[in-house]
Amino acid sequence: MKRVYIANTGGTIGMKWSPRGYCPEAGFLESQMAKMPELKAPGMPEFVIEEFDPLLDSSNMTPRDWIAIGRRLMAHRDDFDGFIVVHGTDTMAYSASALSFALRGLAKPVIFTGSQIPLVEVRSDARTNLVTALQLAAGSPVPEICLFFGNQLFRGNRATKVSAGGFGAFESPNFPALGTAGVDLQVHWDLVLPPEQGVPQPRFTEVRPAKVVALKLFPGMPPEILANALRPPTEGVVLETYGVGNGPGDAELLRVLEEAADRGVVIVNCTQCLYGRVDMEDYATGSALGRAGLTSGSDMTTEAALAKLFYLLSLGLGVDEVRRQMPRSLRGELTEVATSEPASTSP
Ligand code: ASP
């Protein structure tokens, strides 16, 4: 019988109503799951649940919690066939992205899931998300950090929360779903990354609390506010720009960016658009950002770009190397543009 480890970090799925609104309660998810006959049906894997203390609304998560998740997965790496991380939807895409970089060589499925309505409620998406995630973790050995939600299995670092209220809360705008749950559970194996070459043993990098920030350009953004955000101790910025990576040609704003880049701040250009990728050579307004020292985030989600910054800065690489790795696909998180650079091992 296959065995699945479930790390319950919290989230709506295991919450209970209180006068302050929904909040997590210790032991509640497990007690609700114990009442689900479908989890004991023939063909279902055996599973073990370990709960975080305290359980978290994922809005309260920090990189410390990414580390806690990674440590648990590492501790149980040899004992289970697959892993589920039960997680709130609000920051699930950040955690899944972070784990995709920091946890290497596990070569077993890790599936983040949760729900929009708690499992205890009569009409809830929790049942199907849990049951299917368990079946996938046990029966479809996708050796990636995935996110399963609304009948779709996504690469974790490609997913983003797009709906506050819909059951299809996540999309993977720039990469197809790795799998779909319809009448059959289908995995599109041609899209799945093989286990990483050259990483025979699982290894986990504990990210440090790097000083990174995500900022969104808007018409009339005051350069002095941008300058404030880029001041020390800022080490990295995900700048959400317009369209294919364009920004205002305002001389003062460009000077602020250039000065920060010269000081070693890594500024990643990601588009505000949900679909498509950055190409700073398309427009003069984009090439000016390139000359100011921005590095392309291609079609990465902001979640993936931030997590990648945390990870690369935690490796102690020089700023030039962090900038060089940013537009490269390390874990399938972006669509790489062909380069003449010789391939090297991924960090
Ligand atoms: N606020 C909740 C959380 O992210 C939302 C959810 O789980 O759907 O923990």
Q: What's the chain's length in residues?
A: 347
How far does the centroid of ligand 1 lie from the alpha carbon of residue 10, in Å? 8
12 carries an active-site annotation: yes
Low-confidence ranges of the chain (pLDDT < 70): 339-344
The ligand 1 atom nearest the CA atom of 11? 9
Pick the closest to residue 172 from 196, 195, 188 (CA basis).
188
What per-residue confidence (pLDDT) applies to 274?
Answer: 98
Q: Which residue's alpha carbon is at the smallest distance from atom 7 of ligand 1?
A: 88
Nearest atom within ligand 1 for CA of residue 12: 7
Cβ–Cβ < 8 Å for 268, 239: yes
* Predicted pLDDT at 284: 87
Closest atom of ligand 1 to 59 CA is 4
Report pTM.
0.96
The per-residue pLDDT for 344 is 64
Question: For residue 178, how far is its CA from the centre of ligand 1 (angstroms)?
Answer: 23
CA of 59 to the centre of ligand 1 (A): 7
H helix or E strand, kind and range, residue 293: none
Residue 313, token pair as written in the block: 């800065």
d(CA 212, CA 280): 22
Q: Please say whether the beta carbons of 176 and 188 come within 8 A.
A: yes
What's residue 339's pLDDT?
66
Q: Which of 13, 23, 25, 57 best tests ligand 1's pocket when mutated (most atoms within 8 Å of CB)? A: 57
Q: Is the peptide bond before 209 cis (omega within 30 degrees of 0)?
A: no
Q: Out of 9, 12, 91, 113, which one is annotated catalytic?
A: 12
User: Which tens digits make up the pLDDT trace of 6-25?
Assistant: 999 999 999 999 999 999 99
* Ligand 1 centroid – CA 85 distance (Å): 13
Q: What is the largest CA-CA distance in the chain?
A: 67
Ligand 1 binding pocket (C-beta < 6 A) is: 10-12, 57-59, 88-90, 114, 116
Three-state SS annotation for 105-157: CCCCCEEEECCCCCCCCCCCCHHHHHHHHHHHHHHCCCCCEEEEECCEEEEHH
- pLDDT given at position 342: 57
At 178, the amino acid letter reads L
> How far is the C-alpha of 149 from the C-alpha of 151, rounded, in Å?
6
- Collapse the DSSP code of 205 into the 3-class scheme (helix H, G, I; strand E, B; otherwise coil) and give the result: coil
pLDDT tens-digit readout, 83-126: 999 999 999 999 999 999 999 999 999 999 999 999 999 999 99
Which helix (H) or strand (E) segment holds residue 212: the answer is strand 212-216
Provide the pLDDT for residue 85: 98
